[in-house]
């Protein structure tokens, strides 16, 4: 059986923005504030280091029933028994990931356009990362922002869970959800905050009221 994931407040890690705090420190604080899904994203580290980071986060999250999604690396997701993998448009194709990962693996795909969204749904993605909604300095060379209209247009064309990402913060998150996203994913708004628990709580307040409370 595939796990049911609560995507409402989705944290994406980034050790380069974490003020020297480890992923475990930031994620521990963030889940206290209501983060309910975590993606490990490592852009500049060895496979061994990536694996260590993934193991540490699994040890933290698994007992709390919070899903861990691994960015890019299906091998690491499978090695640590993570709930899923998140794939961009230039990563391992969804079909290959499904073949290797099986039916129980959650596969998220970044959609940078309506066409990406329709294709990923047809190929069996479990959720879409709408990327980016707003311009952001966190991801270099990102696609042109979808904006709120882009979120609404994709919402009208797919039934998949939509997780919006890019430039989302406590000031604009409610509008992103109102445009049709099921969840908001953030890096800097939580990872770079002086108090990640407080930052997560502020974002959590924007989520629908049945959202799990910390
Ligand atoms: N994918 C699309 S935008 C982005 C990623 C990983 C970065 C989002 O970071 P931030 O700091 O929440 O804008
Ligand atoms: Mg990628």
pLDDT, tens digit (0-9, with 9 covering 90-100), for 48-68: 999 999 999 999 999 999 999
pLDDT at 214 over 90: no
What local confidence, expressed as pLDDT, does residue 213 receive? 42
Contact predicate 27/11, CB 8 Å: yes
- Closest residue to atom 1 of ligand 1, CA basis: 131
From 8, 73, 110, 131, active-site residue: 110
CA of 132 to the centre of ligand 2 (A): 13
Task: Give catalytic status of residue 110 as yes or no.
Answer: yes
Complex ipTM > 0.95: yes
Nearest ligand by distance to the CA of 12: 1
CB 6 within 8 A of CB 61: no
Note the pTM of the prediction, 2 decimals.
0.97
Q: DSSP 3-state assignment of 123?
A: helix
CATH number of 9-204: 3.20.20.70
Tell me how far apart the alpha carbons of residues 201 and 32 are, in angstroms, rounded to a whole number: 8
Task: Using the atom order of ligand 1, give the atom closest to the CA of residue 131.
Answer: 2
Task: Tell me the CA–centroid distance for residue 92 and ligand 2, in Å.
Answer: 9
Determine the distance separating the centroid of ligand 1 and the alpha carbon of 154, expressed in angstroms: 18
- Residue 145 carries which DSSP code? P
Catalytic entry in 15, 41, 73, 98: 41
Any idea where the domains of the chain sit in the sequence? 9-204
Residues 75-118 pLDDT 10s: 999 999 999 999 999 999 999 999 999 999 999 999 999 999 99
Of 35, 2, 34, 3, nearest in space to 13 by CA: 35
Return the residue whose CA atom lies nearest to atom 10 of ligand 1.
187
Question: 166 φ, ψ to 5°?
Answer: 110, 105
Interior angle at CA 130, CA 136 and CA 184, nearest 5: 75
As a whole-number percent, the residues of the chain with pLDDT over 90 amount to 96
Give pLDDT, residue 52: 98
Query: CA–CA separation, 137 vs 188, rounded Å?
Result: 9
């Amino acid at each position: 059986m595939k796990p049911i994931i609560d995507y409402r407040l989705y944290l994406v890690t980034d050790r380069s923005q974490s003020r020297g705090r480890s992923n475990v420190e930031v994620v521990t604080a963030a889940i206290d504030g209501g983060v309910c899904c975590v993606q490990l994203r490592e852009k500049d580290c060895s496979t061994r280091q990536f694996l260590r980071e993934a193991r540490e986060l699994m040890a933290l999250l698994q007992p709390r029933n919070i899903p861990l999604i691994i960015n890019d690396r299906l091998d690491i997701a499978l090695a640590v028994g993570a709930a899923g993998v998140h794939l961009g448009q230039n990563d391992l194709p969804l079909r290959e990931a499904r073949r290797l990962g099986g039916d129980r693996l959650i596969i998220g795909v970044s959609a940078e356009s309506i066409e990406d969204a329709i294709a990923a749904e047809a190929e069996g993605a479990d959720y879409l990362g709408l990327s980016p909604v707003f311009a952001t300095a966190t991801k270099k060379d990102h696609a042109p922002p979808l904006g709120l209209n882009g979120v609404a247009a994709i919402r009208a064309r797919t039934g998949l869970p939509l997780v919006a990402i890019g430039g989302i913060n406590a000031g604009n998150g409610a509008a992103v959800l109102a445009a049709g996203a099921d969840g908001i994913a953030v890096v800097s708004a939580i990872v770079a905050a002086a108090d990640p628990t407080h930052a997560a709580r502020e974002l959590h307040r924007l989520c629908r009221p049945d959202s799990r409370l910390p």
